[in-house]
Amino acid sequence: MLNRFTVPSILLLVWGVVFFSQAEPLTLATDFGGFLVLGVIGAIFANATGAGGGVVFVPVFNHLGFAPVDIVATSFAIQCCGMTAGALSWWGHFTHAERQNAQWSVLPQVLVLSIPGSVCGLLMAQYAASSVPFLSAIQGNVDDLHLGFGVFSVFLALVIFASIPLLRKTTFKSEMTGVEVLLLPVVGFVGGAITAWLSVGVGELVAVLLILRGFSVTMAIAVAVILSAVSVWFGVIYHVVETQAVAWQVVLFAGAGAIIGGRLARYVVLAFSVQKLKLFFGFWVLLLGLSGLPVFY
């Protein structure tokens, strides 16, 4: 029978086998070991706020001079580790602590409505880029990637700030209405397409929608993490098979850190005020977003 230590133990064992099977593991650790810390930080932010880890990974990789396709591909692969660890942690919290909580009762329904749209939007943006001029123009362009990430991050930060008053609520909606049923697939589709380009997007948009519609903030974060985890697994296939642009040495260490961060993030959310957490994260995302605008570089 699986327990909360089984999956991390299996992942640790697999990581150890992969690491020690490398030709020069100590040299590899010296050259890329610093990405372990990046993975922890990125995953904690991602899984504690509902924003994808790409919010941290994209600007760092861009600063390090990675090519645009390498940035997105590697970010996807790292998030497969961290967002999956976070998703398992949040789902375990839901099944063991919140199953009888009416404010969390809509979580499975929200996922059913948003996941298919997200996957469709993501795959459309990835595989239709060669035949759609607009998608072809932005894919693989470092300036567009940098600018697009900046604009999206600034927008996300402003929405977070605007939703701060809603975080003071103590009662939340516990049932879906026709509005959410209609909006979630659409927002999922749009968010999935944005995620294909920036490696972030769908979790943030769905979380913001849920918060603005009056649902539990913590439940919205859990939805965003689980939704993002499913989406990045579909998205990484394209980069493994088609672009082959994943920097696996980086993923080996940043992915391990992301698993650690993904497991810790839920405790961060439950230990601190959601309002303070969102406010801090809003300023962080705003800073990263502004750094991506043309006036700042």
> What is the Cα–Cα distance from 20 to 104, expressed in whole angstroms?
43
**Secondary structure (3-state) at 251:** helix
- Predicted confidence (pLDDT) per residue in 100-118, tens digit: 899 999 999 999 999 999 9
Please report, for residues 54, 66, 138, 144, the alpha-carbon distance to residue 141 in angstroms, rounded to integers and kept in the order given: 17, 12, 6, 5
Q: Is the pLDDT of residue 54 over 80?
A: no
pLDDT, mean over the chain: 82
204 or 135, which is more confident?
204
- Predicted confidence (pLDDT) per residue in 212-254, tens digit: 888 888 898 899 999 999 999 999 999 999 999 999 999 999 9
Stretch 252-264: mean pLDDT: 86
Residue 111: per-residue pLDDT: 97
Q: Is the pLDDT of residue 136 over 90?
A: no
Are 202 and 125 a contacting pair, CB within 8 Å?
no
Q: Is the pLDDT of residue 296 over 60?
A: no
82 or 113, which is more confident?
113
Angle, CA 119 vertex, CA 115 and CA 120 arms, to 5°: 115
What's the predicted TM-score (pTM) here? Answer: 0.85
158 or 26, which is more confident?
26
- Predicted confidence (pLDDT) per residue in 148-181, tens digit: 767 777 877 787 777 777 666 667 888 999 999 9
Residue 236: per-residue pLDDT: 94
